[in-house]
Chains A and B, each alone.
Chain A
Amino acid sequence: MDSMTGRERVWKALNHQVPDRVPQDFGSRGSGIGLAGYEELKKRLGVETPTEVLDSRLGLAVIDESILSRFQIDTRYVYMKAAASWDPKTNAREDTFVDEWGATLKRPKGGFYYDHVGFPLKEATLDALKAHRWPDPDDPTRYEGLRETARSYYERGYAVGSYMKGTWETTWILRGVEQAMMDMVLEPEFFHALADKASEILARMVENFLGEVGEYLQFFCVTCDLGTQVAPMISPDDYKAKVRPYEKRIFETVKRKSRAKVAQHSCGAIFKIIPHLIDAGIDILNPIQTSAKGMDTALLKREFGKDLCFWGGIDTQKILPDGTPEDVEKEVQRVIRDLSPGGGFLFGPTHDIQTFTPVENIIAMYESGMKYGRY
């Protein structure tokens, strides 16, 4: 029988203390499961509740409470919403829509999620930045009902978390990732102006959001992908000078408006950038993409475990989709051994669990987490 609530367990872990067992995470926008995979999981576990969509862009399912409780999941999530006035200009024939920033997303035929294909500021100049139709962070419909949701999770003893796309990734959807990266070298003035504007809006959204749910929140995650499979996308110096100031504005808002720990999500091989993330004020690193070069869990814990909590760690790129349940169990054991000593570890997948991942591997992952996670 567990002696702690999920919130107590997560909070202890996030404060580098040892809880009764390693807390477990599943079902967020960064640790969720695709709709098709979820149907398989439901079937295997005998769950008949109709599926709700958590995120239509990513094609993720809301995980049924019976599954979350079976896997002893300690976290629940609350997210900012789109403004009620947002018109997605959905085009069913092309399978596209337009997001609140004015970027067009498309789902390829047979694909599982929508990706950005149209960038509203691709050709833009400094003047066009001013004329762009920016989302209104003060629109109250973004935050309606969120307090009640967060409070309900809180009162039921869960650790409450949230996610938001950060400034760096927002510049990609406005400009296109290729152009945004070239701006860093060729148009630094434009790059800074765009990042400044985006982060101003995002920080204001965070401020409003936390005004509603801040008292219930244990962690807030900003997504800011900085790694490729083999190396950081940008130099540590570029991160420091051109990305960090804008992400930091959001991190500082989180700290000012709540007691929540700040998490950063970044896929990829980012070992060299981690010291700068710590300087920027993050408490938690997600998702620890162990399949990327240099993301060695033992080394990460040794080098950064004093300053950082780790969240994720179970590989969704190779081991979960391609391994056997025995491979998964071994990997769980290894990752827990490396990352859990002294607390500071929230167990979960390294990304949303991909469609075609065998159900028995997902079950093996969480059952092994329970088996080996006890302190």
Chain B
Amino acid sequence: MASYDELIKAVQEGNFGETQNQVNALLAQGQPPNEIIQKGIVETLDIVGKKFSEGECFIPEMLVAAKASQKGLEILKPLLVKADFPPKDTIILGTVQGDLHDIGKNIVSMMFEGAGFHVIDLGYDVSPEKFVNALKTEKARILAMSCLITTTMISMKNTMDALKESGLLGTIKVMIGGPPTTDDFAMKIVADFRGKDAYDAVAQARVFASDAASTK
């Protein structure tokens, strides 16, 4: 007998096969896909993200849970589309130009996805132009940029300049993250938010999404 407790356990343990078994079994029991996402995937990633934020779990545990959640979403997402359930919002995300580090960005990407966002992950070494183009093409309202190296923080500033030039600045929300970033730096480049970890980033993305929804 499948249950949300079992699904949560499977995702937390990073058990890919069992995650998919539980998702399929819950569907067979008639649970709606959006509810499975909410009560299974979102719930688990919130637990894991919070634990990580509080120093109770670490990158490997976070990674395997995020990957397992993706395995569950592989089954659930197409069903959402069929049921005409739009995702919360689109987030364009990437590691900025000149920086090839992506483990933090990948975790955040999976956490966004697990939280129900439609994520376009542009990878690493992403130029300001590429960010701008993706925001335009996807009509996305949230941009999330990451960097690890101190010297590539300038690429965040360059991207903000490109947003301004393209006329997008002010119409979208920008969050930044990564070890060398600070709240002061975010303020300096006029980014809306700096996430101190993945959990923080997801929480803020939810705020952005609900702000956007209320001004629709």
* Chain A residues at the B interface, C-beta cutoff of 8 Å: 106, 108-112, 115-117, 177-178, 181-182, 184-186, 228-235, 238, 272, 316-318, 321, 354-356
Q: Is the CB of B63 within 8 A of A231?
A: no
Rank and list the top 7 A-B pairs by shortest CB-CB distance, nearest first.
A229-B179, A115-B100, A181-B60, A108-B125, A111-B98, A184-B60, A233-B59
Residues of B within 8 Å of A321, CB to CB, are: 150
Interface residues of B (CB under 8 A from A): 14, 52, 55, 57-61, 63-64, 67, 97-101, 103-104, 106, 125, 149-152, 154, 179-180, 182, 196-197
Considering the chains assembled together, what is the distance between the CA atoms of A108 and B125 in angstroms? 7
Interface of A is mostly: loop
Q: Are A109 and B98 in contact (CB under 8 A)?
A: yes
Query: Which residues of B are found within 8 Å of A186, using beta-carbon distances?
Result: 14, 64
Given A185-B64, A230-B196, the answer on whether A108 and B98 have CB atoms closer than 8 Å is yes
What's the least CB distance linking B148 to chain A, in Å? 9
13 contacts between A and B (CB under 8 A): A108-B97, A111-B100, A112-B151, A177-B103, A181-B63, A182-B64, A228-B104, A234-B59, A238-B58, A316-B150, A317-B150, A317-B179, A354-B151
In the bound assembly, the distance between CA atoms of A233 and B179 in angstroms comes to 13
Q: Name the residue among B61, B125, B149, B179 with the largest chain A CB count within 10 angstroms.
A: B179
A234 to B, closest residue via Cβ: B58
A231 nearest CB neighbor, chain B only: B55
B106: min CB distance to chain A, Å: 6
Q: Which of A108, A116, A318 has the most CB of B within 10 A?
A: A108
A110 to B, closest residue via Cβ: B98
Measured CA separation A355–B150 after assembly (Å): 9
Cβ contact of B61, chosen from A115, A185, A354, cutoff 8 A: A185
Using CB atoms, name the residue of chain A closest to B99: A108
Other A-B contacts than A233-B58, A356-B154, 17 sampled, CB-CB below 8 A, are A106-B100, A108-B99, A108-B100, A181-B103, A182-B14, A182-B60, A182-B67, A228-B59, A229-B179, A230-B196, A231-B58, A232-B58, A234-B59, A235-B61, A316-B150, A317-B179, A354-B151
Q: Is B60 a contact of A234 with CB atoms below 8 Å?
A: yes
Instruction: For residue B150, give the distance in angstroms from its CB to the closest CB of chain A.
Output: 5
Are B100 and A181 in contact, with the CB atoms below 8 A?
Answer: no
| Residue numbers in A under 8 Å from B151 (CB-CB) | 112, 354-356
Contact A317 B180, beta carbon cutoff 8 Å: yes
Q: Contacts of A233 on B, CB cut-off 8 Å?
A: 58-59
Taking CB atoms, residues of chain B closer than 8 Å to A318 are 180, 182
CB of A364 to closest CB in B, whole Å: 18
CB distance from A131 to the nearest CB of B (A): 26
> Is B60 touching A238 in the complex (CB atoms < 8 A)?
yes
B179 close to A235 (CB less than 8 A): no
Distance in Å: Cβ of B119 to nearest Cβ of chain A: 17
Q: Which residues of B contact A354 (CB under 8 A)?
A: 149-151
CB-based nearest B residue for A178: B103
- Find chain A residues with CB under 8 A from B59 CB: 181, 228, 233-234
CA distance A109 to B98 in the complex (A): 6
Closest to A36 in B: B151
Q: Is the CB of B100 within 8 A of A185?
A: no
List residues of chain B with CB within 8 A of the CB of A232.
58
Are B197 and A230 closer than 8 Å at their CB atoms? yes
B206 shortest CB reach to chain A, Å = 21
Residue of B nearest to A268 (CB): B179
Minimum Cβ distance to chain B for residue A290 (Å): 13
